[in-house]
Amino acid sequence: MKRILFFSITLMTAISAFAQNYPYQDPSLSPEERANDLLGRLSVEQKILLMDYDSPEIPEFGIRKYNWWNEALHGSARNGLATVFPQSIGMAASWDDELLQQVFDVASTEQRIKFSIAREGEGVQRYHGLSVWTPNINIFRDPRWGRGQETYGEDPYLTTIMGRAVVNGLQGDGSQKYDKLHACLKHFAIHSGPEYERHIFDVEELSWRDLNETYLYAFERLVKTTDVKEIMCAYNAYEGKPCCGSDKLLIKILREQWGFDGMVVTDCWAVHDFFNEGCHNIFPNDPPSATANSVRSGADLECGDSFHTLGEALKAGKITETEIDRAVFRILKARFELGEMDPEEMVSWNSIPRDLLACDQHNDLALQMARETMTLLQNKGKVLPLSRNAKYAVVGPNAADSLVMWGNYNGIPRKTVTVLEGITAKVGAENVVYARGCEIAAASDDEGKYSESEGNYHDETLSMAEEQEASAMDMSIFDDVDAIIYVGGLSPMLEGEEMRVNYKGFKGGDRTSIELPETQRKYIAELAKTGKPIVFVHLSGSAVALAPEAEICDAILQGWYAGQQGGTAIADVLFGDYNPAGRLPVTFYASDADLPDFGDYDMPGHTYRYFQGKPLFPFGHGLSFSKFKYRRAKVKNDVLRIPVKNASRRDGDEIVQVYIRKADDVDGPLKSLRGFKRVHIKARKKVVVEIPLSAENIDLFNPQTGKMEAASGEYIIYYGGTSDISKLRKLRIRI
C-alpha cells in the first residue's frame, strides 16, 4: 500500500508540474534549450542539491529523485539478477570489438529494464539509473594493480578500440530521440595503482610523451570520436593537484584542447581527500574551499557528500553562482538527453520487454564471449584437445568455485557454470574425480577474509586454511586417472579495488608479488610426481608469473574471470569443441625481477612497448588448434593488405596484429600496436586482411612538435599473430 501511495503522489506531482507548460517541459526543444530554461528557474540551494550523485526530488519543477551511481563493467552490476559477461580484461583478450559492442548493447538493455522497474517502485536508487560508470580505460601499466582486471589491458590503442565499442554499445547508435544510457570514461587520468596509496599518490613528474602517448591516448580519442557523455576524475594527484581539482586536466586539456562538453563526475569521496588528514590534504579541515576548488577546476557532479558545502563556499566568495550554473547546466542537459525528465511513455527505451532480463539469448552471448576470451598459452605435444574417452582428476581451489567467474563490479546470474561442471558435462560424472587439493593462497598473521570497499562479499567459506605441507597431500586420487586438470590462479576475492585482504603476496587489493601463490606452486610441483599429464586452467584478472608451472604443466589455458558461462567455454576448449583464439592484452612476465618499482609511472621498462627482457608469454600471444601462415604484405592506398592462410585441417580464428615504429625514433616504444582484426579462416583457405594505415592508426609522438601525429619519415611495420618480434614479418614505408 505504501508503494502504491508513494507512486500515486509522485505521479500527481509530476502531472501537476507538467501542466504548467514551461519551455523546459517541451520535448520538441533541444536538451540544451530545456536545461537553460530550467536552470533559470532554480534557486541556488536547489542547484547545489542537483550536484549530489544522490539527487533528491524537487516537486515544484517535476524533478524526480535520481541516483547517478551505477555500474555496468561487464553487465548490469550490483543490482541483483543480470547477465554476467567475462571480466573486462578477459573480453579484451577476445580482440573482438564488434562482439564487445553487442555485449554492451545487452548490458544497456538490462540496465534500462532495471531503471523502469525502479521507477515503478520507490524511485531510482543507487545502481538503478541510466548513467553507468563504465568503461575503465586506464592503462594496465603494472600487473600488480588489483583493478587492472577492469581495464582492456596495457596497450593504449587496443584500449581505444575496445573502449569505443563499449561506449557505443551503452549509449546507442544515435538513431533514437533519447540516449539509451550514458557511458563514463574513468579514471581521468594517470591512474593505475597502487590501490593502498591512491588517496595520497602524486604523479609529480611525467614526460609529456608518456602523458600523451600512453595515459591520455584512449581518453583523447574516445572524447573526439564518440559522443561519450561523462568523464570520472581520479583519486590520485598529478603535478601536486588532485585529479578532481586539476584545472590542467579538466579544463585546459579535457575541455579546451579536446572540446569535451559533457559531465565530469568525481570518483567517490575523492573530494574528501582534499581536506582529510592522511590524504592529499591541500585544504586542511576546509571542505568549502575543497569543493569550490573542485567545481572551479571542472568537476560538475560529486560522488560523495562534500558538495553540500558549496552554499557556504558561495557566501564566502570562494565560488560564484555562474560557476555553479555551468556545472548544473551539464547535469540537467544529461537528464534531458536520457529522457529521465520526461514521462516514461515518451521514451521508447522504457518499453523494452522485461523478459529480456537475463534471458536465454543473453546467456548465449555470454557463452560466445567467454569462448572468445579463452587464451591458450601453452600446449606441449598437442595434449589438447583432451579425449572424452578418459578419466580425469579435476583439482584446485578454483575448480568448483562459481564466484571466481564473476570478477568484480558484477551482477548476479541465474546460473553460473563452474569449470568442474563444464568438464563433467563433457565426460560424465563417472569419469571425473574432484578434490580441492590446496588453498588459493596462504593467510598472513591475521585471519584472512575478503571485503571490498563497497562490501559486496563477506563469505566465510572463502577464508583460507593454514598453508598445507605438500608432503602431507593425499596423491592416491590420481592413481586411476589419465590426466590431471588443475584449476587455480587468483580470485576476485584477492585482487580488486582497495580491498582488505590478509594473504601473503597481497596488499590493499594489489599484489606485492606476481608469482603464483606458494600454496599452489607447491601443490603443482607435487602433482608432477604422479607422472600424469597436467593441464593448468589459470583463472585471474591479471598476469601471473608461471615460469615453474610452464616447465611442469603440459598445457596452460588462461581463462580469466569468464562470466556465467565460463565453465562451459573452458570445457569447450579443453575437449576441442571450440578452437581457441584469445590473445593476451597484457604481458605475462617471467618473474618479479622483470618489474620496475610499482610507483614508477615513467613508461620505460613497463609493458611490451618498453620491456627489454624476455617475457614468459608476450602481449598478443595465444595459441590455436589451427596453424596460420603469413605471406608478404603490401600497402596500397593507405591500406596494409596481409595474406593469411590457415595451413591446417581445422577452421579457426586468427587475430592479425599490426605494430609500427618510426625508424629514427630512439627514445620511444620498441613498437606500438596500431591495427588488428579478428578473422575466421576456413581450413586450407587463404584470406587477405586489410588494416588501414590512416593518420589515426599511424600516429605516434613527434618529439619535434610535442604532438601525436603521423610525421613524415620512414616507418617499420610489423605484422603477425603476436607481438613477439622474432615471429613477426616486417616492411618499411615512407609517408
> What residues act catalytically?
267, 495
User: How would DSSP label each residue in 426-441?
Assistant: HH-GGGEEEE--S-SS
User: What gap in Å lies between CA 587 and CA 601, rounded to an integer?
Assistant: 17
> Exposed (0-12), middle (13-18) or buried (19+): which is 481, by Cβ within 10 Å?
buried
Q: Other C-beta atoms within 10 Å of 727: how many?
A: 14
Amino acid at 379: N
Going by their DSSP bridges, the two strands 202-203 and 237-238 should be labelled as parallel
C-alpha cell at position 57 = 526530488
Instruction: Tell me: cis bond preceding 143? Omega within 30 of 0 counts.
Output: no
User: How would DSSP label each residue in 268-323?
Assistant: TTTTHHHHSTTS--SSTT-HHHHHHHHHHTT--BBSSS-GGGHHHHHHTTSS-HHH
User: What gap in Å lies between CA 405 and CA 366, rounded to an integer?
Assistant: 12
Contact 556, 545 (CB under 8 A): no
Q: Other C-beta atoms within 10 Å of 198: how many?
A: 24
Q: Other C-beta atoms within 10 Å of 381: how many?
A: 8
User: What gap in Å lies between CA 219 and CA 156, rounded to an integer?
Assistant: 9
In angstroms and rounded to an integer, the radius of gyration of the C-alpha atoms of the chain is 26
Residue 41 to residues 38, 322, 712: CA-CA distances in angstroms? 5, 14, 55
C-alpha cell at position 226 = 564518440
Give 209's contacts (C-beta < 8 A, 6+ positions apart).
667, 668, 701, 703
> Exposed (0-12), middle (13-18) or buried (19+): which is 363, by Cβ within 10 Å?
buried
User: What gap in Å lies between CA 22 and CA 336, rounded to an integer?
Assistant: 14
**SS3 of 102-147:** HHHHHHHHHHHHHHHHHHHCCCCCCCCCCECCCCECCCCCCCCCHH
User: What gap in Å lies between CA 93 and CA 70, rounded to an integer?
Assistant: 25
In sign, the C-alpha dihedral spanning 616, 618, 619, 622 is negative
User: What gap in Å lies between CA 230 and CA 181, rounded to an integer?
Assistant: 11
Contact 437, 523 (CB under 8 A): yes
Q: Which residue has the cell 533559470?
A: 40
User: What is the distance in angstroms between the CA of the first residue and the CA of the last residue of the chain?
Assistant: 72
Q: Other C-beta atoms within 10 Å of 1: how many?
A: 5
Contact 49, 328 (CB under 8 A): no
Nearest to 622 by CA among 648, 592, 588: 588
Q: Which residue has the cell 598476469?
A: 543
Residue 465 to residues 45, 278, 440, 470, 491: CA-CA distances in angstroms? 54, 34, 9, 14, 16
User: What gap in Å lies between CA 51 and CA 295, rounded to an integer?
Assistant: 10
Per the DSSP assignment, residues forming a β-bridge with 434 are: 394
Amino acid at 675: G
